[in-house]
Structure 1
Amino acid sequence: MSLNKQISEAELKRLIHQLDIGGEDADGEEDASAAPGERDENGQLVKQDGSIRIRNQQIHVQDPIAGGEYAVIYPMSPVRLFVNEQEVVWEAPVRASDRISWKVEEQPLFEITISEDKLLAHLRLFATERYASRLVDAGPDRRVIVRAEDDESIVLKTVQLADVVAKLEEMSIKSRIEFAAIQRELLEPTYEPIVVASGKAPADGEDARLEIYFDQQVRSEFFEVDGAIDFRNHLRIPTVQKGDLMARKIPMVDGTAGYDVLGNVTLPKPPKDLFILAKPNVELTADGRVIARKQGRPRITGGKIKTLDVSTSYVVSGNVDISTGNIVFSGDVIVCGDVTDNMIVESLGNVYVYGHVFNSTITATGSINVRGNVISSRLYSGYFGVLFNRLYHTSKQLCDSIEKLLAASKLLEEALEAKRQPVRFGQIVQLLLETKMRDILPAIKELQFVISNIRNIRQTEYEKLKEISEMFTKPTKLIESATREFVQGFLALLQDTHGEVARMQEEQVEISINQCQGGELKSNGDIVIHRDGVLLCELFSARNIVFLSEQGICRGSRLDAGDSIRASIVGGQTGAISVLKARRKVQIRKMYSGRICVGKYCKDVFEPIEQTIFDVQALKRYSEPDDKRAT
């Protein structure tokens, strides 16, 4: 073979070294002269980087020549590499003199996991056998990654049923172990998590509940809708007769305990009991039945403690006016005529008005039904009926004031004791009433007035309250007789009165009207407009606002519903706009102009729209959140 140019001996040896021809002697050691430094034409060593070569489970390093760079080595998991007994986790330069060792970190053949609720244990098989490992040949090169591969000719370990069971025991898993499932996975691996042990979830019990056997709302036959006239001359008020079964308590049912895969007992969620308080007009039997003792309207009030009663009714055969005075009644109020200007009707029950309501206030812990028109009046039902009730408000105001009075009197007592100037407690109270606590006496007089005007109450319930409050209006007697315990007793009676009124709030309340102009209506239930609609009104409902008549209008009004609004005709060609705001949905039959808000999204309507339903998703497409618009 002829060459155009004779190759040097050094170049030939370097080529032999790269091709791994005769690279090892008989002892398997690398020939140190396999790649001597190359020299240039002037006989100087040529710059050459260091190199690494992996062969036959050995790592060989050659140092650089003439200022070349050192070779770099780094491991790939599961190989762990050590240079001079220091573990290398990333790239590391090495020399021929370095002591390099390695080992392959064993990977688990399977794992056992426990679910978060500890009711299931899963086995996941990664491999059925573990093989010996060997290094993958590489190089020579300046940068070498140390890799390992399985030598399938040498089996070190095979997963057995006993291995899995031993691991389960090590993890203290002992409940309902599925040996068959484990063996099946070992024989026919899916390599997916399988259930190998399971506990038993606790079975929750059932809360106590109250089955009610009477209608809690007035029937809508009371109204006219779209010209369909109901000629009945009475309200469809729910009524029970003496001996009727009003309700029945279904007792709570205890749950059953369970256990987890670790063998621990897991307890069920304890059921909630229901407490029932029976008023004198009802009987609560040992087996939880509630039976009426008299005829009247059945009612249920309260939250955690359910109070059942049969309410009597106070009937005003004509108008509520100056001749009748304000009506304050512990039960239902039925007004056969009108409620005239500047009158107040307060009911710890429902209020039914056959006529109109003019510039007056009606509060009811239950529902309010007005057959006529509502003009410039305020109607508050349910929670709002409690909130705006004068007995509730006055007792709450006095509770706060008496607490401040007690705190202030204690400070004065301590200051006087420090100066060794004893004084009667009653004198301190009287001094505070005349100076810092001047609002207490007017509130006490208001309380006395309200109590004296409440019809259908057992006076013995308020005799003590009236007696104590009377003492505050007599300075001489107060100074002589008042003690701290006396004032604390008055505070306790006020708190009981306030709590009693608060518990009068009924469930399933609503305000039902035909039409309203210039009024304010608030209900923690529904507001239902049966006929003509509302004009220049403020309506707030914790649930729904519903216009039943297709011709019912809403003009210049603000409606706010905790759930949804269903309106018929909103706005007009002229006049003030209306704002309709609901948490879930606003449904419109026809709207000329106004503003619609659902959740935090709003839309202004400038052109007439018909048969449209607005919800959050609909408004999101073309509106900004209400809070952003405000900014």
Structure 2
Amino acid sequence: MTNKNNDLLELIKGLNINKSNIINYTDTKDPVVNNQEILGEDDGYVEVRDHQIFVINPSNNGKQPVLIPNSKLQIYVNGSLLKKEQVVFDDDDIRWNVKPTNDYGISISKDNLQVSLQVYPDLFIGYRLKDQKRARRIMIDIEPVEKYFDVEEIISQIAENIVKKGIRVEINTSAIMQEILDPKFKEILVAEGLPVIPSKDGYIQQYFSSVISEVLEEVSGMVDFKNRVKIPTVEAGEVIAQIFSPREGKAGHNVYGDSLEPKTPKEVIVRPKPRVKISDDGKVIALLSGRPSVTGSSVKQFDILDTYEINGDVDMKTGNIFFNGDVIVRGNIKDGMRIDCSGSLFVFGNVYHSTLTASQNVYVTGNIIGSKVNGGQFGMYYSSVYKIAQDLSVSLKRLQYAYSQLKVALSVKNTEYKIGYIVATLVETKFKEITKNVNDFYQIINKMLENKFQFPIHLQIVMNSLKKLKDYQAIHSIDSEQSLQSIQFSINELIQKMEADIQEESDISFYSSNLSQIKTNGRIIVKKEGIINSTLFAGTEINFEKRDSVIRGGKVEAVKTINAGIVGSAKGKSPILYAGETINITEINQAQITMRNEIIFIDEKITNLELKYNEKTERIESNKRLPSY
């Protein structure tokens, strides 16, 4: 065997690899240094005694001592950082220090209202050199000792560092002292700003229910199914709501001394209709008995609605119904009929091939077949009036701007014309749509008159104002800018009042539907059998109350949530469901599910399916395995 192999065998024999050493082995960045190597008689050495380093040079031909780096320490030999093993001499200047650690941490909250201090154990721990026997190759090490320091000096240092961060509020030095004397090593509050007291917007507390309830009562020993639907009503003089004024908040400041102002509170704008009075202390009082109503979004309108009641069917004998208030039908709505109302619509029967539109809620205690039902929308005539009013408002604004420019140009040329002539010329050359819109408006008014429509006061004002824009001869009679402004104002008032007549979230409820289109800006509630080949749209949610209520064919769309019973069938046409947030289904057989831009096709039976759209991942989450997704 060669000498090289002999050397290898000797090294292997010298390895200490018993079982206990293997178990206790831990990796370290520093090499294991054997300070027990045999020191030659003439070799130099390094010794740490009484926590001081002593270097002894070799004699004769002995080996020079070597200092090995320690990752825990910064060791300097003659001013140079020790990075690798280095020979040292007795006249070398050897210095050391522990690598810097944090004695404490200062943090500022995200809202800049609090300053916290956390003291670390290193604040109380000092280090000294660990005594080691003399060795030619040595890695000096340290051991912890209690650190003595001036408490007041440390507190002053911490406070100074807090101020350096730009903190301009009082620092709680007592809390700092308490933590140093009795450390918990957790974050403590040492300075804080003055938080804003938020403003509170004005709001309305409503004392009446907007929900139509079904109550079974016993009459002469018999359950009264016929009159189970209860429509909320109030008596004259009853307080139906309380308006609360906005409350101003209080300013504050952050830890940097910057002022923090509360948001300006919003006042709730309420406009009572003639049947309602608002007292000085904000009470909303009914002046007549009837069904209370609150509508509008930015402007709230309270009213006690008139009720038009038909004790029977709506058919060719009754004619179409256009009413400014609630409509109650105690019968069926027959083929080809139309009902438009500015309140809620109550139908105690079925709806056949008709069109129903209510500005508020629609309640059908029966089935809807081949019909269109709209809740939270204008009726046919009001929709046309609203669109024309919007178009006229824009055109009149542009007309007034054009007139002001033309007036300046004529003034420069020192030329004068009557205002009526200027406006008529502008309408004839640049704004022909104005006279067309005005004439379309009066055509709708005439149709409304034929149907004995009741005109609210704000519509009557616009009817009178627009006479000045009906034709060019009438336009010539305009004698001031104020006349144009007055027309513009009356149209804007009409738009605002019409918008206020729409309930913010209107409900539609019914038993079942077939081949129908049902839309609302609020909820749709399907109370019994379900829907077949129908289109449903809800501004908030669609709820099928019975677990066995069906969706077969058609399209069901809700901005937020769908709670469904049995969706699709094995053989029929696949329905389409869309929801922006969640879909819960008792049983699904087949359907196309869409949530935002994600689409799933399901063609197998799944029970108790829960779907939720995840905004972060932009994916649909499910409690069940989904096919091909």
**Aligned 1:41-60 pairs, distance under 5 A:** none
Contact 1:120–1:261 (CA under 8 A) maintained in structure 2: yes
Query: What's the TM-score, normalizing by structure 1?
Result: 0.70
Number of aligned residue pairs: 560
> How far apart, in 2, do the equivalents of 1:385 and 1:33 lie?
116
Corresponding residue for 1:177?
172
> How far apart, in 2, do the equivalents of 1:479 and 1:81 lie?
101
Query: Do residues 430 (structure 1) and 424 (structure 2) align?
Result: no
Corresponding residue for 1:393?
387
Query: Do residues 622 (structure 1) and 626 (structure 2) align?
Result: yes
Counterpart of 2:44 (choices 20, 26, 35) is: 20
Equivalent position SS for 1:303: coil
Cα deviation code 1:364-393 (max 9, x no counterpart) = 221012334433322211267799833333
Contact 1:356–1:372 (CA under 8 A) maintained in structure 2: yes
Counterpart of 1:579 (choices 552, 563, 576) is: 576
Residue type of the partner of 1:20? G
Counterpart of 1:127 (choices 100, 119, 122) is: 122
Corresponding residue for 2:490?
493
Equivalent position SS for 1:516: strand
> How far apart, in 1, do the equivalents of 2:336 and 2:391 lie?
23
Corresponding residue for 1:114?
108
Counterpart of 1:363 (choices 335, 357, 366) is: 357
| Alpha-carbon shift at residue 238 of structure 1 (Å) | 0.9
Equivalent position SS for 1:491: helix
Cα deviation code 1:192-215 (max 9, x no counterpart) = 433444566555465543222211
Corresponding residue for 2:213?
219
Residue type of the partner of 1:618? S
Corresponding residue for 1:301?
295
> How far apart, in 2, do the equivalents of 1:388 and 1:362 lie?
13
| Alpha-carbon shift at residue 506 of structure 1 (Å) | 2.0
Counterpart of 1:284 (choices 264, 278, 302) is: 278
| Alpha-carbon shift at residue 402 of structure 1 (Å) | 3.9
Q: Give unmatched runs, 5+ long, in structure 2.
A: 1-38, 48-53, 613-619
| Alpha-carbon shift at residue 471 of structure 1 (Å) | 2.9
Contact 1:300–1:507 (CA under 8 A) maintained in structure 2: no
**Aligned 1:586-601 pairs, distance under 5 A:** 586-597=583-594
Distance 1:390 1:320, change over 3 A: farther
Moved more, 254-263 or 516-525: 254-263
Corresponding residue for 1:375?
369
Corresponding residue for 1:39?
none
Moved more, 527-536 or 252-261: 252-261
Counterpart of 1:561 (choices 558, 576, 580) is: 558
Equivalent position SS for 1:617: strand
| Alpha-carbon shift at residue 164 of structure 1 (Å) | 0.9
> How far apart, in 2, do the equivalents of 1:442 and 1:100 lie?
105
Equivalent position SS for 1:498: helix
Equivalent position SS for 2:230: coil
| Alpha-carbon shift at residue 573 of structure 1 (Å) | 5.2
Residue type of the partner of 2:622? A
Distance 1:470 1:325, change over 3 A: farther
Corresponding residue for 1:445?
442
Cα deviation code 1:579-612 (max 9, x no counterpart) = 2333444444454433344566554343455555
Moved more, 600-609 or 368-377: 600-609
Contact 1:409–1:429 (CA under 8 A) maintained in structure 2: no
Moved more, 556-565 or 391-400: 391-400
| Alpha-carbon shift at residue 293 of structure 1 (Å) | 0.8
Query: Do residues 236 (structure 1) and 233 (structure 2) align?
Result: no
Residue type of the partner of 1:366? Q
Distance 1:310 1:233, change over 3 A: same
Residue type of the partner of 1:567? A
**Aligned 1:19-418 pairs, distance under 5 A:** 19-20=43-44, 79=74, 109-116=103-110, 117-128=112-123, 158-165=149-156, 167-168=158-159, 171=163, 175=170, 177=172, 179=174, 181-197=175-191, 201-204=195-198, 206-220=200-214, 231-233=225-227, 235-251=229-245, 272-316=266-310, 320=314, 326-382=320-376, 389-403=383-397
Distance 1:545 1:458, change over 3 A: closer
| Alpha-carbon shift at residue 239 of structure 1 (Å) | 0.5
Distance 1:431 1:441, change over 3 A: farther
> How far apart, in 2, do the equivalents of 1:498 and 1:446 lie?
19
Equivalent position SS for 1:466: helix
Residue type of the partner of 1:445? Y
Moved more, 128-137 or 105-114: 128-137
Contact 2:399–2:426 (CA under 8 A) maintained in structure 1: no
Cα deviation code 1:79-129 (max 9, x no counterpart) = 597999xx99999x99x9xx9998868766434433333324314245345
Percent identity (aligned): 22
Moved more, 27-36 or 322-331: 27-36
